[in-house]
Amino acid sequence: MEHQAPLYDVLNYLPDGIVMVDERGVILFANDAFSEMVGFRSSILLGLNMLSLLADIDVFQKCIEKVMREGKSLDAETNFIHSNGTIIQAVKSVRMIRHNDYVRFFVNVRNQTDLNRLNKELRTSKELIELQAHELSSLLNSKNQELEEILSSIDEVIWYIDNQTLSLRYVNRAVEKVFGFERDNFLSDHTLWQQQIYIDDRNLVQMFFETLLPGQSQEIRFRILHHEGEIRWLSSRIYHHPSLHLFIGITSDITAPKAQSEKIAFLAYHDPLTHLPNRAKLKLQLESRFEHSSTSPFALMFLDLDNFKNINDTMGHKIGDSILIEVSNRLRESVGKYDFCARFGGDEFVILLEDADTLSVDAMAQRLIQTFKKAFRVNEMDFYLSSSIGIVLYPYDASDVEDLIKHADTAMYEAKNKGKNQFVYYHTSMQRALHDYLHIEALIRDGLSQNLFELYFQPLIDTKTLQLEGYEALLRLPHPKEGFIAPDIFISVAESNGDILVIGQEVLKQACDFIETVRKLYDEPFFVAINVSSKQLHQELFANELLEYLHQRFIPTSFIKVELTESAVMENIEIAERQLRLLQQGGVRIALDDFGTGYSSFSYLAQLPIDTLKIDKSFILPLFESSSNRHIVEAISNLAHVLGMKVTAEGVEESSHYNFLMEKNIDTLQGFYLCRPLPKGKILKNLEDKVPYFTPIFPLGYTI
């Protein structure tokens, strides 16, 4: 078989194991890949029976019989025994070949235990085949059946065409899977392969062949139309043979890996949810502007959705994501052709405007605000959102990426502090305000993480019995490093950033702990009044969760009174009434705090299930500065009693306050003249020692 030596040299370049055996299983040829796979030299394998290399000796005979009976290839998983005794898991493909009146079995063995190595060797084999293009083309022209079988088992398309007419002269069967046509169609119509090139890529391919010089080897990527109409990407390594006047190529279908790489490249600079440019793309966009038009002014808008966290917390992230997608679509439609819009993260978006003229910027900001007027409809539900926008102007407010974003973010926070649903231009004075805000925010987080928040309790005295009626729970934040942080400082920040919801849960817990302890020492009925913010009140399950918590703690609802400000109630009267009705039906009493400082109308006052009106201290402290203050207090008291409510006066700091309020039939008094707020330990000590709360003292400055 020496005259066939070039053929077997080619077989030694293939990464798969190739074995030629006779009917008895005697090995007539084994390529280098198979020898390496089983750990024996080729010289040892020749003449050896295949059965000695199989873990299951019945496999071979069954395989040969089936191939001879059915006359077609058989692919099956087979375990070979390595020379060191280990099992090699492989997939073999067996084909019967009749050559020179002999029956031979051609076995292709692929080692499944080291696919990465095989892939690497396959690439090496392709390069070697390219380097030996003359030998390969000669073998193809001779139509050697054994070589045809080998080439037909390779997944890549192997072909050659005339370098003058570009007519196809040869192609293996892999072309059928890549193009979707039968191989015979290509061999009968030598220009079919050109017709299937995607129309936009035909000039590219034509130019490639025209410029590829003899002896050169180059790679080209282009698109084709599959028989079923699908566009596919191909990669071809093509060698221009200098003496055979042929272009010889190996072509692979790279549609899937190219799509994957394009997806990875897209996601590197785009948000996967909204498909808007992401933060990295925004940075590149800004750097490009600085580099190519550093003196051209432009505007940057930092847009944040108002109260979006509430939707995620109450309705779930799936609905939240649907809303974010719709927000992104509306922003795309709102910005100009030459403007740039990116999702910065979460519910934050950044818009770069080509024009920095304030009239144009104002118009765009107004348009963005109006974008949210229409409800966002998800799952047959309407959601209403607004946005707060911070605006910086380049180069007046900042000259680099970091400062532009930071200052726009600062202006956005200022828009939120001013009531949200508006836009604000950056000013240097905002930076200090933001610093203070973030500092207080950090102290709040310290308080929550380190359990620093503590309730003080101020007694409320019944004017008819002069006995304890209940306590108001007042929140304190004694920070170990910063000292006492006043409630009027940290409460507003907590309401702004949403931490008030967690703080509210902590207040309820500590209040219930206090009730449980006091009930063991005090037999008379009492209540603890807790202050509730508008954010808490507007949580859909607020009332139900509060009642359920009391039930779990086995605390009767009569021991809790909820205090709300007028502004909290009036922010959304329908939600407030629904929540308060649920609380009242559950047995929780309700007080309207700071009455007279807000904007409640009498009709709403009569409509809401309120038990107590609390007259704000701003009317009590200056009682005797003018008669009008005393008339207002008296009018509020009369109104409340007519509506069937009780009246509580806070800020009782002088004996004159006390005497006047007793005369005017105010039901409950609270203030430093009676008792200052006390920590839990002091309250319990007084109860154990039976020390009365109502001990008039000299006037003191009022600082709750």
- Encode 54-103 in three state secondary structure: ECCCHHHHHHHHHHHHHCCCEEEEEEEECCCCCEEEEEEEEEEEEECCEE
Distance CA 326, CA 703 (A): 48
Q: What is the pLDDT of residue 135?
A: 56
**pLDDT over 60 at 701, yes or no:** no
**pLDDT over 80 at 344, yes or no:** yes
Q: How far is CA 663 from CA 410, 463, 510, 596, 653, in A?
A: 52, 10, 36, 21, 16
Q: What is the pLDDT of residue 95?
A: 82
Q: Is 347 helix (H, G, I), strand (E, B) or coil?
A: coil
Q: What is the pLDDT of residue 181?
A: 87
**pLDDT over 80 at 232, yes or no:** yes
CA angle (551, 557, 562) in 5-degree steps: 120
**pLDDT over 90 at 484, yes or no:** no
**pLDDT over 90 at 455, yes or no:** yes
* pLDDT tens column, 487-517: 888 888 888 788 999 999 999 999 999 999 9
Q: What is the pLDDT of residue 146?
A: 59
* Mean pLDDT value of segment 352-371: 89
**pLDDT over 90 at 400, yes or no:** no
Max CA distance (Å), the chain: 130
Pick the CATH number of 155-259 from 3.90.550.10, 3.40.1350.10, 3.90.400.10, 3.30.450.20: 3.30.450.20
Q: What is the pLDDT of residue 489?
A: 85
Q: What is the pLDDT of residue 704?
A: 33
495 vs 436 pLDDT, higher one: 495
Does this model's pTM top 0.85? no
Query: Residues 391, 365: contact at Cβ < 8 Å?
Result: yes
| Topology alike, domains 2-114 and 446-689 | no
In this structure, the dihedral spanned by the alpha carbons of residues 513, 517, 522 and 523, taken in order and rounded to 10 degrees, is 80
Distance CA 225, CA 223 (A): 7
Q: Is 698 helix (H, G, I), strand (E, B) or coil?
A: coil
Distance CA 387, CA 369 (A): 6
Q: Percent of the chain at pLDDT above 90?
A: 33
| Token couple for 282 | 């925004």
Q: What is the pLDDT of residue 134?
A: 54
Q: What is the pLDDT of residue 178?
A: 85
Closest CA to 426 of 373, 366, 361, 489: 361
Query: Residues 133, 239: contact at Cβ < 8 Å?
Result: yes
Distance CA 161, CA 177 (A): 20
Closest CA to 315 of 304, 324, 327: 324
Q: What is the pLDDT of residue 473?
A: 96
* Mean pLDDT value of segment 679-693: 87
Q: What is the pLDDT of residue 322?
A: 92
Q: What is the pLDDT of residue 60?
A: 76
| Token couple for 338 | 């030459």
Q: Which fold has domain 2-114?
A: Beta-Lactamase (3.30.450)
What CATH homologous superfamily does 446-689 map to?
EAL domain (3.20.20.450)
Determine the number of helices (DSSP H) and then strands (DSSP E) in the chain.
29, 27
450, burial (CB in 10 Å: exposed 0-12, middle 13-18, buried 19+): exposed
Closest CA to 397 of 304, 297, 302: 297
**Res. 115 pLDDT band, cuts 50 70 90:** low
Q: Is 35 helix (H, G, I), strand (E, B) or coil?
A: helix
* pLDDT tens column, 376-387: 888 888 888 899
**pLDDT over 80 at 571, yes or no:** no
Q: Percent of the chain at pLDDT above 70?
A: 89
Closest CA to 592 of 631, 544, 640: 640
* Mean pLDDT value of segment 275-303: 88
Query: Residues 306, 388: contact at Cβ < 8 Å?
Result: yes
Residues 6+ apart with CB under 8 A from 452: 446, 477, 478, 479, 480
585 vs 9 pLDDT, higher one: 585
**pLDDT over 60 at 599, yes or no:** no
* pLDDT tens column, 168-225: 888 888 888 888 888 888 888 888 888 889 999 999 999 999 999 999 989 999 998 9
CATH code reported for the domain at 270-427: 3.30.70.270
Distance CA 569, CA 547 (A): 19
Q: How far is CA 156 from CA 173, 248, 249, 250, 632, in A?
A: 9, 13, 10, 6, 94
**pLDDT over 50 at 165, yes or no:** yes
Distance CA 557, CA 227 (A): 75
Residues 6+ apart with CB under 8 A from 657: 620, 621, 623, 649, 651, 671, 673
Q: Across the beta sheet with 340-345, what order do the strands follow?
A: 340-345, 348-353, 298-305, 387-394, 423-425
Q: Is 126 helix (H, G, I), strand (E, B) or coil?
A: helix
**Res. 697 pLDDT band, cuts 50 70 90:** very low
Query: Residues 682, 518: contact at Cβ < 8 Å?
Result: no
* Mean pLDDT value of segment 439-453: 91
User: For the chain, what are the domain ranges?
Assistant: 2-114, 155-259, 270-427, 446-689
Which of 343-347, 417-421, 511-515 has the largest mean confidence? 511-515
**pLDDT over 50 at 141, yes or no:** yes
* pLDDT tens column, 602-615: 667 777 899 999 98
**pLDDT over 70 at 306, yes or no:** yes
The whole-chain average pLDDT of the chain stands at 84
Lowest mean per-residue pLDDT among 16-30, 64-78, 329-343, 685-699: 685-699
Query: Residues 413, 426: contact at Cβ < 8 Å?
Result: no
Residues 6+ apart with CB under 8 A from 462: 468, 469, 667, 668
Closest CA to 251 of 186, 295, 203: 186
Quickly count: other Cβ atoms within 10 Å of residue 114's Cβ: 12
Quickly count: other Cβ atoms within 10 Å of residue 455's Cβ: 22
* Mean pLDDT value of segment 25-41: 89
Bridge partners, 240 (sequence order): 247
* Mean pLDDT value of segment 3-29: 77
492, burial (CB in 10 Å: exposed 0-12, middle 13-18, buried 19+): middle
